[in-house]
Structure 1
């Protein structure tokens, strides 16, 4: 992927589609969900695209113990603040909340939830192998001053096996 595509994805005010390899004619739309408010535009875009193409949607949320949303402690007197499985359940809840309302607006779109314990970049690249399109959001800054695309968007632009749409959030910096 050249610098022009990365620049457009980082600064574009509309979704930017980058086609790296020959698109797959069949298959779902894969949506990377992080649960952030800025990711809402990517969720909207993915559902609209799936409805337009007449295909299903795989909503994928990947997490590790380092980036998981911690549920409130169930009993602070226990040796562990949360019961086994509490982190995974919290990540399932995050995905469900991010998709809330979209099934009602797009009843024709079959949605598969995938919550993966592992790296986001790797999970989305692998899921995108059989997808017509992989959709991710971009919040603006990627954690380093001046870096306008996060590591997930960057990795997909450089390593995805098919088309990638980067959808900047409403609160993304321009």
Structure 2
């Protein structure tokens, strides 16, 4: 009888806590703490920065999300928390990231990384979007072309340029 009661209590507790564990990560905000895995990674906030009224990139530096001075150098590490972060490739002026081999690593159990790219075909003409999806808990590997005009990262993932 006691075992049954304990088992039922454990199931009830696990069921109550499950939604909290599965919640989306908090989007980075200026001057807020960042996790150690985000060290030197850059992100785009999902809400406009209060001081500038624009989406200024943030970089995790010394444990806090800090605004990046614009125009910024391209970053080799990007952090996404779920919603799309839209970036410019080398096919545009002031790229946010450089071409090459990249990986997207899920940062939580059951998460997937998704990347969508468009490339410049000729002056004023861009390709249809090319999407690449990773499996749950699987690191995604892909190439960003030197002609990439836009690159969109989504999922709770760390994006890293390799090599």
Which range, TM-score by smaller chain? under 0.3
Looking at secondary structure, tell me which structure has more strand per residue: 2
Higher RCO (CA-CA < 8 Å; seq separation 6+):
1
Q: TM-score, normalised by structure 2?
A: 0.27
Q: TM-score, normalised by structure 1?
A: 0.26
